Amino acid sequence: MTKLEAIIRPSSLDPVKDALREIGVEGMTVSEVRGHGRQKGHTEVYRGREYSVDLLPKIKIEMVLADSRVEEVVETVLKAARTGQIGDGKIFLSRIDDAIRIRNEERGEAAL
Amino acid sequence: MARMLLRVFLGFVIFAAAGGVLCLPHSTVRAASLTSLAQSPPAAQSPASAPLANRLATLEQQVAAARSSGDNAWMLVCCALVLLMTGPGLALFYGGLVRKKNVLGTMMQSFALMAIVTVCWALFGYSLSFAPGNSFIGGFGFLFLRGVGAAPNAAYAATIPQQTFMLFQLMFAIITPALITGAFAERMKFSAMALFMILWSFIVYYPLAHMVWGQGGLLNASLGGKFPTLDFAGGTVVHISSGVSALVCALYLGKRLGYPREISPPHSVVLSFIGACLLWVGWIGFNAGSALAAGSLASSAFVATQFGAAAGVLGWAGAEWLRNGKPSALGAVSGAVAGLVAITPASGFVGPMSSLLIGLIAGLLGYFMVTVVKSKLGYDDSLDAFGVHGACGTVGALLTGVFATSAVNPIFRDPHGHALAVGLLDGNAGQLLNQFIAVAISWTLAIVGSLVVLKIVDALIGLRVTAEHEIQGLDLSQHGEEGYNLEV
């Protein structure tokens, strides 16, 4: 099994979700996060005082996938989340040892 | 059924419209004749049988009653409008500018003052401000509001119940200390704030209100003051006193932990925006209500207020636009407040074009104060109570002496009743000197009075929250709650 973590623009969440639903991906966890990669932050000015905002709001999507589906899902996320500008985000893939469904203790890919 | 409802509704509308005609404040003769048809004693209904003098006396009484009800209706609305400036207006304006962890603590300061100042006002505040006393403070004549009832106090407002006048002045006594809270935001103990404001009202507000507006006050322009000062709605009493005291508080308490590097930006400019809009609306009651009647002077003050606020927006936001390339929402609403502050003392004395100029100057000055002066001098006037109220209030008080004109308000008259020049441009250069004297007295009283009160409160209970509580935030440490429990 593989865990896919995609850090994307908040505005890309809906297109990515729709595209994943179309190819039949069933589960995901979404969180609002802040961070930065190569994209610089911006400055805000309140009554003449400058505040630099270098951690920008992003969305993190986490999914654990059966190995057979990984490439297809990666392709889908890439296509839906790309604008071509700096700040589109990143995808990280990592190995998952096991998965357990809490309701009935199914294990492995059956639990996904 | 629906048709019947419609008829009832239409009947109600017609009835209400007729009632409105009866209450029109300045078509007094017509109103009086209509009321006499409706409710005068039987003698008036058979004119031939009553002596002319009696009928005239009845008519005069009814004219006065109609005038009074018109003026009183307007002043009651103004009382409510000025209260709206503090809660929710100022509470939202300041609440949005602080960090999330201090939003309730900040709003609570304004709200608590609505209660504390009201009780003090009933017991002794009104008396010490407005009862006949010496040149500096009122006497005990109105202690516990004794004798303050339905009868007008002719020295102040001859056509409204003294209770209405007392209420209107109360709303000013509430917002003035509430304005100061912006300077020590995010770091003062709630208990210290409450004690400070009670003592501050005694030492600074009541004396200053008496000097400028009270009968026999040193600076009163129309009731025998030694230095007649023009302050229509509180440039000295409200804005200089609060703004300068705010600076003293900011300097005495010291900066917030981590200022300026680690202080995050305003947590909700949206709240501040709504608050500022409410302040603008409430300010109409503040300034136009200071005419203390529903006549043409109220209209003139309304015009001046609106124009001053508008020009303030253009001044502040325009300066930002030129300097940063962007006009900010917070800058625009701050500019409105700056313009409103400066036009406050002038609002009953100047024409529309002077109002635009005063507002524009205030908008530019406010921007300069909070962006350049504050960072140069390094004091932490957290929400810019001094930069906006102290600075723009001072300039407004002085400009009032320049632009005031007898064409708007012939407040000075010679023994034959002819109007005399009022401000500098009107030909009365001496007025500017009086304005300077009033500004100097207000500054001195605010500085000395605030320092004394700060020392007393510091010695008795301490002013600042502990560092631990400051980091935790006032909401939790002072009130045991949080402003936003949005997450599960």
pLDDT, position B375: 87
pLDDT, position B475: 96
Please give the backbone phi and psi of residue B352, each rounded to the nearest 5 degrees, phi first: -60, -40
Q: Is there a contact between B265 and A48 if contact means CB atoms under 8 Å apart?
A: no
> From A49, which residue of chain B is nearest by alpha-carbon distance?
B371
Domain boundaries, chain B: 2-61, 74-479
Chain A positions in Cβ-Cβ contact with residue B370 (cut-off 8 Å): 47-48
Distance (Å, whole) CA B356 – CA B346: 12
Distance (Å, whole) CA B361 – CA B218: 29
> From A50, which residue of chain B is nearest by alpha-carbon distance?
B265
Under an 8 Å CB criterion, which residues of A touch B? 44-49, 51
DSSP states of B16-59: HHHHHHHH-SS-HHHHHHHHHHHH--HHHHSGGGS-HHHHHHHH
Domain boundaries, chain A: 2-111
Cβ atoms of A58 and A8 closer than 8 Å? yes
Q: How far is A92 from chain B (nearest CA, A)?
A: 28
Check if B258 contacts A (Cβ < 8 Å).
no
* B 290-349 near A (Cβ less than 8 A): 320, 324, 326, 328, 330-331, 334
Cis peptide before B177 (omega within 30 of 0): no
Cβ atoms of B193 and B394 closer than 8 Å? no
Q: Which residues pair with A53 in a beta bridge?
A: A42
Find the mean pLDDT for residues A17-34: 92
pLDDT, position A52: 84
Q: Is there a contact between A46 and B384 if contact means CB atoms under 8 Å apart?
A: no
Chain A positions in Cβ-Cβ contact with residue B384 (cut-off 8 Å): 47
Both tokens assigned to A38: 């190569």
pLDDT, position B268: 97
Q: Vertex B160, ends B155 and B166: CA angle to 5°?
A: 70
CA atoms lying within 13 Å on the CB side of residue B105? 30
For CA atoms B251, B256, B258, B261, the dihedral sign is negative
* Helix (H), strand (E), coil (C) string for B166-216: HHHHHHHHHHHHHHHCCCCCCCECHHHHHHHHHHHHHHHHHHHHHHHHCCC
Check if B382 contacts A (Cβ < 8 Å).
no
Within B230-287, strands assigned E span: none
Query: Which residues of chain B fall short of a pLDDT of 50?
Result: 1, 12-13, 15-44
Cβ atoms of B438 and B227 closer than 8 Å? yes
SS3 at position A55: coil
pLDDT, position B29: 38
Within B347-436, strands assigned E span: none
DSSP run (H or E) holding B1: none
Give the residue from B173, B205, B172 showing the smallest Cα distance to B450: B205
Domain A2-111 is of which CATH architecture?
Answer: 2-Layer Sandwich (3.30)
Chain A positions in Cβ-Cβ contact with residue B260 (cut-off 8 Å): 49
Residue with the two structure tokens 């609505």: B114
Both tokens assigned to B22: 């009866």
Both tokens assigned to B62: 């009814």
Please state the length of chain B.
488
Cβ atoms of B35 and B22 closer than 8 Å? yes
Both tokens assigned to B191: 């208990």
Taking each helix axis from N to C end, the angle separating B329-346 and B391-403, rounded to the nearest 10 degrees, works out to: 40
Cβ atoms of B87 and B458 closer than 8 Å? no
Distance (Å, whole) CA B221 – CA B437: 13
Q: Is there a contact between B330 and A44 if contact means CB atoms under 8 Å apart?
A: no
Cβ atoms of A8 and A17 closer than 8 Å? no
pLDDT, position B397: 97
Chain A positions in Cβ-Cβ contact with residue B374 (cut-off 8 Å): 48
**Integer angstrom CA distances of residue B125 from A48, B168, B222, B447:** 39, 13, 22, 21
Give the residue from B298, B285, B304 showing the smallest Cα distance to B358: B304
Strands A42-46 and A89-95 come out as unpaired
Domain B74-479 = CATH 1.20.140.90: no
Indicate whether A7 pLDDT > 60. yes
CB atoms within 10 A of CB B469: 15
Chain A positions in Cβ-Cβ contact with residue B320 (cut-off 8 Å): 45
Q: Which residues, at least 6 apart from B404, have a Cβ–Cβ distance to it below 8 Å?
A: B230, B346, B349, B350, B422, B423, B426, B431
Give the residue from B311, B362, B308, B312 showing the smallest Cα distance to B335: B312
